[in-house]
Amino acid sequence: MSAADTPKRSMRTPLGRVRNLGAAHSGTSDFWRQRLTGVAMTLLMLPAIVVVMMTLGSNQAGAKVILGSLPIAVIMLLFIIASAWHMKIGMQVVIEDYVHNEKLKLISIMLNNFFSIAVALASTYAIIKLSSGV
């Protein structure tokens, strides 16, 4: 048998080869999600900064009028969702890489998820309340 006839040896399990997953069992999905949210935030950052600058110097009623506009509300909601998702993924990667105690890692990831969801929900609620005029 020549070297060309020998099958290639792989460190992956047969199930891992079928699913095309590496040792982390998640492939590169978190990597691409973080890049996607980063691009979304980059595109939405300029409009979000413009909105914040428009509210500078305004009283509460003026800020409510600006933030109550539907296009501005949509821009701010998209920015909030992308930011919260990006924050969640980034912190999760840090926790997975640097927290070695499995119980502490699990608790930290759960707290990270709850915090990210709470920030997104509170911010979304505020924008919806402002834009609906209630």
The total of other beta-carbon atoms located within 10 Å of residue 41's CB is 18
Whole-model pTM: value is: 0.74
Mean pLDDT of 25-44: 85
10 domain-assigned: no
User: For the domain that residue 72 is a member of, what is the CATH number?
Assistant: 1.20.1300.10
- pLDDT, tens digit (0-9, with 9 covering 90-100), for 43-96: 999 999 999 999 999 998 888 889 889 999 999 999 999 999 999 999 999 999
117 domain-assigned: yes
The answer on pLDDT for 106 being more than 90 is yes
- Rounded to whole angstroms, the Cα distance separating 120 from 4 reads 56
Number of domains in the chain: 1
Say what angle helices 102-132 and 70-98 make with each other, to 10 degrees.
Answer: 170
128 domain-assigned: yes
20 domain-assigned: no
12 domain-assigned: no
Domain with 41, as residue range(s), is 28-132
The total of other beta-carbon atoms located within 10 Å of residue 34's CB is 17
Residues 98 and 112 sit within 8 Å (Cβ to Cβ): no
As a residue count, the chain comes to 134
The answer on pLDDT for 25 being more than 60 is no
